[in-house]
Amino acid sequence: MYEFIKGTIEYVCPEFIVIENGGIGYQISTPNPFTFSSLYGQTTIIYTYQHVREDLIALYGFQQREERALFKKLLGVSGIGPKGSLAILAYGEPTQVIQAIENENEAFLTKFPGVGKKTARQMILDLKGKLQDVVPDYFPNLFNENGVEEAVESHSFDEAILALKALGYSDKEIKKVSKELQKEKLSTDQYIKLALKKLMK
């Protein structure tokens, strides 16, 4: 089991990042790969979780240990797999997810792709009262309004759309927010954050 990988960010795409260490490139799935765009070519630490199935061995990576801890808790809920857990964490507001679980807010939880009423109820049953020790002081602010990438806007927008699809959102859902997104001049990461906020309304 890997605790973390320290290396250079060599590649970022909608589904994963590649971090190079010792001449080996590790493909790591993350909640929002484009949060690592600003670290391209730099040395960083990714906290990892290795998921093993009969047909798959995959690495999932996170910027904080607390984020990984919440991922593992979500993964333990019946009906939520790695992709669903990543989609929830990609929203960038774990405290809101925790609050929804504690307050039994099924309406909020069912807004995530792949989470129906049954799964939302299972999340509440399995996790309510069990997350304070996991993320006691975790208040991330991953949405940075400064440092907009000097990339071609259409390219950033297209990458964001691909990332949303990779997280499990349907074309219909994406179409609802795409017109508003195109009015903005943002980096890929910021497009994704804004889209997720609108999709969760």
Q: How far apart are CA 73 and CA 85, in angstroms?
A: 9
pLDDT given for residue 24 in this prediction: 96
**Structural domains in the chain, sorted by start:** 4-62 (2.40.50.140), 65-127 (1.10.150.20), 149-200 (no CATH)
Write down the pTM of the prediction. 0.67
| CB 169 within 8 Å of CB 113 | yes
pLDDT given for residue 137 in this prediction: 53
Q: How far apart are CA 75 and CA 86, in angstroms?
A: 9
Reported as type and span, the H/E element at residue 7 is strand 4-12
| CB 175 within 8 Å of CB 165 | no
CA-angle at 189, arms to 17 and 12, nearest 5°:
20
Mean pLDDT by 10 residues, the chain (201 residues): 92 95 96 91 94 88 89 91 91 79 90 90 90 57 36 71 88 87 85 88 77
| CA proximity to 11, closest of 45, 43, 40 | 40
- DSSP code string of 43-94: EEEEEEEEEEETTEEEEEEESSHHHHHHHHHHHTSTT--HHHHHHHHHTS-H
pLDDT given for residue 186 in this prediction: 86
Q: Please give the distance of CA 7 from its chain centroid, rounded to a whole number.
A: 20
